[in-house]
């Protein structure tokens, strides 16, 4: 049952209001964050400059010369009350397929340089995560990780990086892993990382601390907007999207990479309407219904 604690609002300097839906990370809180921030964009309130949704909170930047902080707070509290009703937690979304070469040689070369982080797995992040989650068979692990879609809760750390939480998976079946004790100096572009219960795709080469278990064959960040899906944004992810990871072989990975380079690759996308109320009532069965035909 969706029950929310009272939202805490704080003024941050002269230009920001911070709203905390809940102290702990709950996927239900994120449904509310996305519903509220979508509603704020629709209203296009004069003086509101930027909206920053996060896992269980959001931040609003405003122009105090156009709207007073207390006037804006009235808007936020009114919308917050409306979105505390689970029937109001619904929004347009997309299921997007991300082809992934799991246990690849590219990220493996990187992780071998950090063997001291998990010596029991020989510096291999993929093997380490398998063992951490009780798997002994590679294919079984890959199937388990790629079985459920990952709900994009927020973007951050670097441009285009999106946090995905496995939606519909039973609590005791969610694959998790600790982050590195100290960050890597290098992470390959499009590496697939796992930290806690969240899976991410690193948009560009960067530092990083998530366990690397594969590599995406397609970009999630396209500065030059050379692929059609990036026509409206240089970022693939939007909060509320569902990413479905599809395991591919090494040969398939390089074939897709060639299509991307030729600008002929078409992402597999299914537009959906997501209802938190239906998810609350039906759980994994609702996710299966959304995934039908995909």
CATH of domain 92-291: 2.40.100.10
Q: What is the pLDDT of residue 238?
A: 94
pTM above 0.85, yes or no: yes
Burial 178-201 (b: 16+ CB within 10 A, else e): bebeeebeebbbbbbbbbebbbbb
Q: Which of 36-40, 66-70, 169-173 has the lowest mean pLDDT?
A: 169-173
Domain coordinates in residue numbering, the chain = 8-86, 92-291
Mean pLDDT of 196-215: 96
Q: What is the pLDDT of residue 94?
A: 97
Mean pLDDT of 139-147: 97
Cα separation of 265 and 82, whole Å? 41
Helix, strand, coil percent content, the chain, rounded in steps of 5? 35, 30, 35
pLDDT > 90? residue 36: yes
pLDDT > 70? residue 1: no
CATH of domain 8-86: 3.30.1360.40
Mean pLDDT of 77-89: 92
Mean pLDDT of 164-184: 92
pLDDT > 70? residue 116: no
Q: Which residues contact 132 (CB under 8 A, 6 or more apart)?
A: 176, 177, 178
């Amino acid at each position: 049952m969706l029950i929310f604690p009272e939202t805490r609002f704080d003024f941050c300097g002269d230009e920001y209001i911070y709203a905390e839906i809940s102290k702990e990370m709950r996927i239900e809180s994120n449904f509310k964050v996305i519903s509220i921030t979508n509603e704020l964009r629709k209203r296009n309130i004069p003086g509101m400059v930027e909206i920053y949704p996060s896992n269980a909170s959001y931040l609003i930047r405003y122009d105090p010369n156009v709207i007073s902080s207390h006037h804006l707070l009235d808007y936020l509290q009114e919308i917050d009350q409306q979105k505390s009703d689970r029937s109001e937690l619904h929004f347009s979304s997309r299921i997007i397929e991300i082809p992934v070469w799991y246990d690849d040689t590219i990220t493996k070369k990187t992780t071998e340089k950090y063997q001291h982080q998990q010596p029991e797995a020989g510096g291999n992040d993929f093997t380490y995560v398998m063992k951490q989650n009780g798997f002994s068979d590679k294919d079984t692990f890959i199937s388990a990780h790629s079985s459920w879609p990952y709900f994009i809760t927020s973007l951050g750390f670097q441009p285009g990086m999106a946090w995905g939480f496995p939606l519909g998976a039973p609590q005791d079946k969610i694959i998790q892993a600790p982050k590195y004790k100290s960050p890597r100096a290098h992470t390959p572009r499009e590496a697939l990382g796992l930290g806690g219960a969240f899976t991410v795709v690193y948009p560009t080469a960067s530092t990083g601390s998530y366990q690397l278990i594969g590599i995406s064959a397609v970009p999630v960040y396209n500065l030059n907007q050379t692929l059609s899906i990036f026509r409206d944004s240089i970022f693939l992810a939007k909060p509320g999207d569902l990413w479905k990871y599809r395991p591919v072989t090494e040969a398939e990975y390089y074939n897709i990479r060639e299509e991307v380079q030729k600008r002929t690759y078409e992402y597999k996308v299914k537009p959906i309407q997501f209802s938190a109320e239906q998810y609350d009532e039906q759980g994994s069965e609702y996710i299966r219904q959304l995934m039908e035909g995909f």
